[in-house]
Structure 1
Amino acid sequence: MDVFSALQTAVSGLRAQAFSLDNISGNIANSQTTGYKRIDTSFVDLIAERNAKHQVAGSVAAYSELTNTIQGNMKDTGVSTNMALNGNGFFVVQKKTTDAGGASSFSPTNLYSRRGDFAPDKDGYLVNGAGSYLTGASLDPVTGQTVSTGPIQISSAILPAKATTTITYEANLPKTPTTAGAKANNGLLPPPADGAADPRVLDGTGTGKVEAADAQSLIDNSVAGPSLTVYTAAGAPVSVQTRWAKVANASGDTKDTWNLFYADKASVSGNQTSWTNVGQAFQFGASGQMTMPTGGTVAIPTMEVDGVGIGPLTLDLGGGLTQYASSSGTVKTDALKQNGYASGTLSSVEVAENGIISGTYSNGSVIDLARVEVVQFVNADGLKPDSLGNYTQTVASGEPISGLNDTTVVGANVEQSNTDIAAEFSKMIVTQQAYSANTRVMSTAQTMISDLLNVIR
């Protein structure tokens, strides 16, 4: 290498170290930027083609080295719509363009970001602090099915009322019920003594009703069942009181058989109400397992309480109705819920680990509203950094792969910059020393050239 080549090499060193300092300064400047990924610098030597016997050290070039796969620390913000990714992956975001006729419009180009400080704008769209809008799937609050994809909008509209269609119930009925008439009737509900229609369903399905005049007999020969509130199509709550009555003990081909009755009035006071049989014989084998109904569900075409019609309903037993011996002789309810609710207004939202955004309403309902879109790349460091904390897809990064995989979404948190200030200052000192050393090479080469010119003179 001659003196002029040394001078050129020193210049390349100055450029490389200046490039490194540029990255360092950017990292320090963005040390408090949410979701920022620092950019490191890698150096590559450039060797001129020479004979192996005369190989010399070459010049240097500097390249950016991304750290998109290195996660920053989580910070709890207390803002429910903020979110961070614990693991690999990126939020899919879009930029808002122009509003035409008052409607929001967005660029169809997807960008990718780790910045998760999302909050609703005036229209309910989730936008981060850099102005990028979170995309995903909006869900129907009633069915839970996807209704649209794109920027997520959290609606503050009133949640419509939903009529109860399914009651899920699991319980254990006592082998020997404790009733007031246990001795006289062997624990069973007897037929009415006044010749009225028999309200019992002894096998399969049927109809039956206990009139108010015979209500005391039902109360004396049955045990209390579950009480719950169901809802009409208009969202009106209706209180339903039930009782279980055993109508047959196992003998020969007859199995232990129970009937379920509900009160025809919401407020049950003594025997001042009639009771309606749901119309199904619940039968149990010797092991205590239910043998009828075989499907585990009972269809109730209609239910009328205080003159208000409810239904049709499905009583879903979920395989959880049994008849085991019980020392208390009463019904033990293990699960009881229904799927109806009154109308309500949105009170708060929450982001789950699976990326589902759910809303809690004033009626107590928790409804899934949206699903956040998260993608991953085979080579995340191949993405091209864009402004505002966004990245764009490149050939090197590969196609986006939808799904969380092993990543989880952490609600009410944001990911901080992965910049380590102490490490950046250390790199800055080394860069400054290398830059100064390159200037010494330049000054030495200049002195040598001057000396050579003086020899010629």
Structure 2
Amino acid sequence: MGIYGAINAAVSGLSAQSKALENLSGNVANSQTTGYKRLDTTFSDLVSGGGARQADQVAGTTYATSRATNGLQGDISSVDVDTYMAINGDGYFIVTSANDVIDGQTTFADTDYYTRAGDFEIDDDGYLVNTSGYYLQGFPLDVDTGNQVGDNPGVIQISKEPMAAKATTTIDYQASLPLVPKTTDYDGVSKATALLDTATVGAGDISAANEDTFIDQSISGGSITVYNSNGTPLAVEVRWAKTVNADASVPVDDTWSMFVSSGGLDPAWLEVGNVAFDDTGAMGTLTSGTTGAVNGSGDGFDIASLTIGDVTATGIEISFGATALTQYSNSSGVATSVDLEQNGYAAGDLVGISIDESGRINATYSNSQTLGLYDIPLATFDADQNLERVNGAAFKATPTSGVPNLSGGGAIKSNALELSNADIASEFAKLIVTQQAYSANSKVVTSSNDMLDSALNMVR
């Protein structure tokens, strides 16, 4: 190869170390860039001709190529912004860029990009945008089923519209009624004194005139707030009165009547229905009251219309299920294990956004309801080292990277950010080696020059 070949090899070394220095400087500059993946440098040799055996060959030149570190995760740091996210494991957020604004509406580019920079915040239009200007994409969720809609993700836009009210249609009721209710009128000896005296208060609904007597002859069954179709609340207060107390000489089931308060109207208490219990304490036959009718499954009551105070709700089912309502001996004489749950709510304003580990965006409203809005998919690639780097710590798919797979990926951590995987201490250590290698190659150039001068001086 000779002296000129040595100069050529040294110059290739200078060029390769310059590229390594360029990568190092970029890594150091981006050591605080969210989601940044550093570029390492790989050196390869180019063998010069000269023979078929290594003994006849010379070292040759070198060239440098960049090596991606997409698969090396950076540290995850906790932050106090609910919409900031980090990916723990494989995958990239799918994002796009804004294209134009037409009639006040933002349009978006057709190209998808991929990033691990999860510093997303909600802008004025409800879009989730990171500091590099990329818009997050996801799958919208069906309001009723919670399942994702469609096969292709779209730009996520959080609606600021209030949640509409939902009328209560079901009250799930659970309670264990005592064998002998310790009402105010119960004398502690005779079970008859614990029963509702229908001769005094009448059968069916309880009039306002008989309300005090009814209260003394019944026990509390809990209360719950339900909502009508426009979200107006109704306070439903339940009381139970025992009407039949079976004993050995009277072979009939124990029977209770369920009442709800009318909220100061007359009648004061509305009879929902009657429930019989067998000698094991299990719920038996149900019969309709003046306000409620036995439901189709025979395990509760349907109330077509319920007016409490000046508010009316329609179409409410009180469901006991198969085993939720029982009668057992209880020394306290009150209803125990009482639990009422209903499925309605008032209208509510958006108060916050949260993201769970499954990548679901949930909206929280002032009515204490939470609604799933979007699923955030993670894209994985068979060869993500072949992705094309673009501005803003993002990447673009290439023919050699493979197509994105949206069915896998790691876990999304909210209130967190993935830091750059470029460590300054490590980069500086590489910088020292690169600087020394560059100096050594420059020495080869100067030494080769001295040798050429000596050769030229031979003819002088």
Q: TM-score, normalised by structure 2?
A: 0.83
Deviations 1:180-202 (A, max 9, x none): 345544586457226955x4xxx
Matches within 5 A, 1:147-166: 149-166=153-170
In the TM superposition, what is the alpha-carbon distance from 1:240 to its structure 2 partner?
0.8
Does residue 367 (structure 1) correspond to residue 361 (structure 2)? The answer is no
Aligned to 2:220: 224
Q: Against the structure 1 CA distance between its residues 216 and 449, is the aligned structure 2 distance closer, same or farther, given a 3 Å change threshold?
A: same
Alpha-carbon distance change, 42 to 222 in structure 1, aligned in 2, over 3 angstroms: farther
Whether the 8 Å CA contact 1:257–1:282 is kept in 2: the answer is: yes
Instruction: Give percent identity, aligned residues only.
Output: 40
Letter in 1 for 2:111: T
Once the two structures are TM-superposed, the CA of residue 262 in structure 1 deviates from its matched residue by: 1.3
What one-letter code is carried by the residue in structure 2 that aligns with 1:193? A
Q: 1:384 aligns with which of 388, 404, 407?
A: 388
Show the counterpart of 1:206. none
Residues 344 and 388 of structure 1: is their aligned pair in 2 closer, same or farther, counting only changes over 3 Å?
Answer: same
Amino acid at match of 2:455: L
1:346 is aligned, of 341, 350, 360, to 350
Contact 2:201 2:214 in 1 (8 A): no
Give 2:270's aligned residue: 276
CA distance in 1 between counterparts of 2:41 and 2:298 reads: 66
* 2:290 alignment counterpart: none
The 5-angstrom pairing of residues 17-416 of structure 1 reads 17-48=17-48, 50-52=51-53, 53-139=55-141, 144=146, 146=148, 149-182=153-186, 183-186=189-192, 189-190=195-196, 192-193=198-199, 196-197=202-203, 199=204, 209-216=205-212, 218-247=214-243, 257-265=255-263, 273-279=267-273, 281=275, 283=277, 286=280, 299-306=302-309, 308-317=311-320, 321-323=324-326, 324-333=328-337, 335-403=339-407, 407-416=410-419
* Cα distance change of structure 1 residues 411 and 254 upon mapping to structure 2, 3 Å threshold: farther
State the shift of 1:166 in Å. 2.8
Q: Which moved more, 1:67-76 or 1:29-38?
A: 67-76
Q: CA deviation at 1:156?
A: 1.9
For 1:235, the aligned partner's letter is G
Which residue of 1 is the match for residue 293 of structure 2? none
Deviations 1:216-263 (A, max 9, x none): 554344321121111111111111101234455677985555443211
Q: Which amino acid aligns with 1:71?
A: Q
Would you say 1:436 and 2:430 are equivalent positions?
Answer: no
- The one-letter amino acid of 1:165's match is T
Q: Counterparts of 1:2-21 in structure 2 under 5 Å?
A: 2-21=2-21
Alpha-carbon spacing, 1:456–1:315, altered in 2? closer, same or farther (3 Å): farther
Q: Secondary structure at the match of 1:353?
A: coil
2:291 paired residue number = none
Match of 2:289 in 1: none
SS, match of residue 108 in structure 2: coil
Any unmatched runs of 5+ in structure 1? 200-208
- Give the match's secondary structure for 1:108: coil
- Any idea what the Cα deviations from partners look like across 1:109-157, whole Å, max 9, x if unmatched? 2211111111122211111111101111334667656567511112222
Contact 1:385–1:392 (Cα < 8 Å) also in 2: yes
Q: Is the 8 A contact 1:192 1:214 kept in 2?
A: no
Name the SS for the 2:260 alignment partner: strand
**Cα distance between partner residues in 2 of 1:430 and 1:377:** 33
| 3-state SS in 2 of match to 1:22 | helix
How far apart are the structure 2 equivalents of 1:330 and 1:402? Answer: 56
Deviates more, 1:42-51 or 1:410-419: 42-51
Following superposition, the deviation at residue 369 of structure 1 comes to: 3.0
Q: Give the length in aligned residue pairs.
A: 441
Contact 2:197 2:217 (C-alpha < 8 Å) held by counterparts: no
Q: Would the aligned equivalents of 1:35 and 1:415 in 2 still touch at CA under 8 Å?
A: yes
* TM-score calculated relative to the size of structure 1: 0.84
- How far off its partner does 1:26 sit? 0.6
Given that residues 223 and 340 in structure 2 are in contact (C-alpha distance below 8 angstroms), is that contact kept between their aligned partners in structure 1? no
Letter in 2 for 1:421: I
Q: Secondary structure at the match of 2:106?
A: coil
CA distance in 2, matches of 1:232, 1:184: 43
Asked if 2 retains the 8 angstrom alpha-carbon contact of 1:242 and 1:263, the reply is: yes
Matched, 1:419 2:422: yes
- For 1:51, the aligned partner's letter is A
Superposed CA deviations along residues 377-413 of structure 1, whole A, max 9, x for unmatched, are 34333322111121112344333222465x3322233
2:270 counterpart letter in structure 1: T
For the residue of structure 2 that corresponds to 1:96, the secondary structure is: strand
